[in-house]
Amino acid sequence: MGLLDTISSPRDLQRLPTDRLDDLAGEIREFLVDSVSRTGGHLGPNLGVVELTIALHRVFDSPRESIVFDTGHQSYVHKLLTGRHDFSKLKKQGGLSGYPSRAESEHDVVESSHASSSLSWAEGIAKGRVIAGERQRHTVAVIGDGALTGGMAWEALNNIAVERDLPLVIVVNDNERSYAPTIGGLADHLAALRTTRSYERMLDWGKHALQGTPVVGELVYDTMHGVKKGIKDIVAPQQGMFEDLGIKYLGPVDGHDEPALEQALRRARAYGGPCIVHVITQKGRGYQPALDDTADHMHGIGKINPETGLPFEVSGRIWTDEFNDELVRLGAERPDLVAITAAMMIPVGLDGFAAAYPERVIDVGIAEQHAVTMASGLAYAGMHPVVAIYATFLNRAFDQMLMDAALHKAGVTFVLDRAGITGSDGPSHNGMWDMSICSIVPGLRLAAPRDGEQVKALLREAVDVDDAPTVVRFPKGDVADPIEAMRTDGTLDVLHDAEAPEVLVVGVGAMCPTALQVAEKLEAQGHSAMVVDPRWVLPVSPDLVRLAGTVRHVVVIEDNLVTSGIGAAVSHALQEARVAARLHTFGVPKVFPDHASRGQVLEAVGLTPDVVGTELIARLTTAE
């Protein structure tokens, strides 16, 4: 039995002799490489926080004392140390979530997995316990240097700074990366803090020690970089950004020296007020393929060969590739195009544009709100910005889309990757709200391409709009096979036609193949059907309203929230035009779907051709 097998709770870890902790860390890294290479998941971030997570659970009493992970993909080690050793179905239906999950464990606190929120959560928890008279219960926030680029983190720091006696410890996990190298002034400041604790500090420490001057502090050997560093004196006045805010700072501390981590965390715990512990870690620690990975492919992986770090199968062409290539082509034609990313250059497909036109790509860090308002300013200055983000992260920038972009009629194109049901990343990562929130934005136009060819065509149409925001959204995964239109009817692509159709089936984007299969089922039961792809689904096309007036039933199929999505917009348009056709809408119910594959989630919410077809035929039969 290995050491890891003996750890079912933090109490077991706390009883483990100190001289066995390095062995435990080694076992954990072996487990992570072996397990995650079989299932896929976030490997690099978790290899980097092994010693840090061990120290956290030896110093703090979870779950009585809460540990909040910012961007919870770094919580795999935490799961192991709290008794969750079965990673065989990680991120799969019925298995462990890839993020903290309250349904899994009392040790998990925040499961949203969106960045920069941990400090607000932690301050709220700590403040609530102080109000309740539980001042001895500490709260810990673990936030990466990448997440500190988000404005919400600084809003929280601004408030934490005035809470002089709040039992709150903030661990800055500084590995110089989020998905990719962290950029901006904060990154530069942290880099300065890393390098200034050097031999000069050590010599000063030694001089005072020889003279008998009391010194609070210690020397830490940084095994990662092979240099010695001194931890800042925790009682003397300090310089630096964090202390200027009034928050005590400790560090930098070698994030792979477990005894040093414990010592720093215990001092932070004993301080009596908010304290930042700056920890230097190495993403991918202990696994050479991850350390050699300059493009951060090891941040989140599919199934790989653990010996080489290479995928077992070469994945096909994905939706993002179509956008990536076409934007590069557009960049050559349009010198006014500027691409903006929120710390996800490669995942959203801007790496090609960045390589070709580095002066026209901007990485703002994890700051979607800033990205959108800055894009509005760029549009005012005569540029056409393309803001590429995951659909789920548009939620964070809705106010800026509404009041900065749309109100000012800014020609900004939003490209939403991972739209609709994403599946394995869990409820917080499904892009099932984007069309709902976009539907209430005046002047906004939204396109949902059905295949890769339409991604390219609709992107070109979107960037030609200079007097309103435009949105192009597409799903995660392999791109759909091209679906040729039989003909066009005004603005609509007709994908399937019938003489005197009884039913008009509207496929929204990636749901067009489902719409075609539903039409087949309808016709097998004697119901003639036409299938159309509106391409631009917001605002609702007058051509769609006109066609709806020629049929008895209109069906809208979308992978968005059904209660306020495209179906709802079509319903309103039909009512205004006094169209008598009966509307049937199929989409995602108002729930947070559990993690599973995309197909399994679609089946669970009733968006497969069989389920939609069966339900629709039952409705049509009842109507007759």
Residues labelled catalytic: 283, 368, 396
Which sign, positive or negative, has the C-alpha torsion 34, 39, 45, 51?
negative
Other beta carbons within 10 angstroms of residue 446's beta carbon come to 26
Which residues, in sequence order, are bridge partners of residue 387?
Answer: 340, 414
Concatenating the DSSP letter of every residue in 401-435 gives: IIIIIITTT---EEEEES-B---TT-GGG-B-SHH
- Residue 556: is it exposed, middle or buried by C-beta count within 10 angstroms (0-12/13-18/19+)? buried
Instruction: Tell me which residue has tokens 């509307």.
Output: 583
Give the relative orientation of helices 609-623 and 512-524 as an angle to the nearest 10 degrees: 50
Name the binding residues for Mg(2+): 145, 175
Burial 19-30 (b: 16+ CB within 10 A, else e): eebeebbebbbe
Name the binding residues for thiamine diphosphate: 73, 113-115, 146-147, 175, 287, 368
User: What is the DSSP-derived secondary structure letter of residue 581?
Assistant: P
3-state secondary structure 471-525: EEECCCCECCCCCCCCEEECCEEEEECCCCCCEEEEECHHHHHHHHHHHHHHHHC
Q: Tokens in use for 504?
A: 């008009």
Closest CA to 410 of 361, 371, 352, 353: 371
Distance between CA atoms of residues 505 and 517, nearest Å:
10
User: What is the DSSP-derived secondary structure letter of residue 165?
Assistant: T
Concatenating the DSSP letter of every residue in 74-125 gives: G-HHHHHHTT----TTTTSTTS--SS--TTT-TT-------TT-HHHHHHHH
- Own/partner contacts of 130-133, CB < 8 Å, gap of 24 or more, are 130/165, 130/166, 130/167
Going from the C-alpha of 533 to that of each of 70, 156, 501, 509, the distances in angstroms are 40, 45, 16, 7
Cβ atoms 319, 452 nearer than 8 A: yes
What backbone phi and psi angles, to 5 degrees, belong to 559? -100, 55
Q: Are strands 487-489 and 492-496 parallel, antiparallel or unpaired?
A: antiparallel
